[in-house]
Amino acid sequence: MDTDLLIIGAGPTGLFAAYYAGFRGLRVAVVDSLPELGGQITAMYPEKQILDVAGFPSIKGRDLVEGLVAQATTADPAYFLDRTATTLRHETSADGDERVVVGLDDGREISAGAVLITAGIGKFSPRPLPAGDGWLGRGLEFFVPSFAPYAGKDVVIVGGGDSAFDWALHLEPVARSVTLVHRRDAFRAHARTVEQVRASSVRIVTKAEVTAFRGNGHVEALDVTADGEQLTLPAQAVVAALGFIADLGPLQQWGIEVEKRHVVVNPAMRTSLERVFAAGDITEYAGKVRLIAVGFGEAATAVNNAAVAIDPSAHVFPGHSSEGS
């Protein structure tokens, strides 16, 4: 397949980049290793209320993705889902055009004038809960894609980051009880969310470690050591929110400059490879802040600069979308 811009990653940043590429008059294709659009939000947080997107005091994850997909549709992108970009090479076409050719794990190759990497944290897998070995699907889960299955249950959430506290806050009115267990008495979660959870009915157990699951076929309780004290907590559902192990996968073999599992970019969102740009959580530069709102801005910067790489007669600044044609 031949296209102008190939976007690797169909999360919020990639979807907005697809729309913006269409706004710039570019043909666009989007590849993602997940089977659905929306990236991590669709896979892990569709019910989460997102509070840091401009114009929305609060918007549910699935609603944000739905809006981004509708917006991207105006660019008529070609989607290649449930496929992984495995190889990347540069070549010159017969008429002298510089191209970037990306190979997919199904054998397909996509030739593009430029590539934009918006792959978030890359492929991700949840950090395991050692005591929960063998209990996955028997009461233990790593994500909360829907709140309904937790109605009327005693829920234990293990972790101290944003996901743990967000899920505690959202499950509190649904579950019979919610207990949050964390190994330290300090938390990585946003201070405002921590205070909201403290003010709720959620029980917080710190300096604690889950030592064993109890139950016959399905979890019924947890053994926890908390600051030297042995506790048994009722639990028909356990959420291990311990973060993720990120893997950039084949991308690391492309010769691209990587720092701390992130792709290094300059202010134009260019990577160390010609005609390859990056935007969103996967990028690294001085002062980088990993927010969805930042990713949107980086996507626009990347697409505008990629447009010039694709067509040197184009301008980086296309004018405002509100100005019309």
Q: In this structure, what are the phi and psi dihedrals at residue 162, rounded to the nearest 5 degrees? A: -60, -40
Dist CA 88 CA 253 (whole Å): 9
- Residue 323 CB contacts under 8 Å (≥ 6 apart), including other chains: none
Closest C-alpha among 43, 113, 50 to residue 311: 113
Dist CA 37 CA 258 (whole Å): 26
Query: Is 19 marked as a binding-site residue?
Result: no
From residue 24, give the alpha-carbon distance in Å to each of 89, 295, 324: 25, 18, 12
Contact of 237 with 209, CB cutoff 8 Å: no
Query: Is 13 marked as a binding-site residue?
Result: yes
Query: Is 154 marked as a binding-site residue?
Result: no
Contact of 121 with 11, CB cutoff 8 Å: no
Query: Is 322 marked as a binding-site residue?
Result: yes
Query: Is 111 marked as a binding-site residue?
Result: no
Query: Is 40 marked as a binding-site residue?
Result: yes
Binding residues: 13, 32, 40, 45, 85, 124, 281, 322
Binding residues for FAD: 13, 32, 40, 45, 85, 124, 281, 322
